[in-house]
Amino acid sequence: MRFWWIPGMAALMLLMMWVWYSPDLGALQAWAEHTAGRPSTMLAVILVMAVTLMIGLPGSIGLWLIAPFHHPLVAVPMLILGSTVGALGAYGLAARFERRLRPGKLTRRMMRLMQRRGDLLTQGALRVLPGFPHSVINYAAGLVRLPLGPFLVAAILGLGAKWAVYASAIHGALEAVDSGKGLSLDVALPLALLTLLLLLGAWVRRRIEARNGVD
């Protein structure tokens, strides 16, 4: 199975902590904390996240621009808005330029899955899994012209659940480092849940690839 997401995420979190708390980068940290709360900055990072997802780049770009600088109660709505707008944009691009696009193997397999089971529950479950690329879901949904209403509801609910886990894990880890305390239950629980979701996401992706045959 493709478990490279797990060490990759762990390494990214460690890198973020080092950058955030490095004594040599104190001025950068102060500037980032001061700037992050401005409405113009918040809108800009939401737009960056939307555009990156619309063109098929990972949503983690927006995650690391938002989650470390805001409490989860603020970060999660920002992440939901950015990722949902990006998902809608990718859906629209796929539907509009269907004949020009050349979807990859995983996208074609996802298209076949959605043609058989494109219901709200299936879409939402796929959205929750961190190890599953959202660009595949977005473009596949647009290419098979799934109903837009369930697509948006699944994106909001599924991404909301996933971003809540991500934002809580990042916020808790950074707070633990900042306070000098060890990992308490409220910090360790989101991290453990995130690890579980990463494992589950890798397994589901493997199953989809295996069950939909070879192109």
pLDDT in tens, 51-66: 989 988 877 778 888 8
Residue 52 lies in a domain: yes
Residue 30 lies in a domain: no
pTM of the full structure? 0.73
Residue 31 lies in a domain: no
- Mean predicted confidence (pLDDT) in 83-89: 94
Residue 21 lies in a domain: no
Q: What average pLDDT is seen over the chain?
A: 76
143 half-sphere exposure, CB direction, 13 A CA radius = 22
Inform me whether the pLDDT recorded for 176 exceeds 90. Answer: no
Q: What is the pLDDT of residues 107-131, one digit of tens each?
A: 888 888 888 888 888 888 888 776 6
Residue 141 lies in a domain: yes
Between CA 84 and CA 149 the distance in angstroms is 12
Tokens read off for 82? 């950015």
Q: What is the helix (H) or strand (E) element at residue 171, kind and residue range? A: helix 148-179
Residue 32 lies in a domain: no
Residue 26 lies in a domain: no
- Please, which pLDDT band fits residue 5 given cuts at 50, 70 and 90? very low
Residue 72 lies in a domain: yes
Q: Among 104, 101, 58, which Cα is nearest to 82's?
A: 58
**Residue carrying the six token digits 């948006």:** 152
Count: domains in the chain? 1
Range of the domain at 151: 5-16+37-211
How many residues does the structure list for the chain?
215
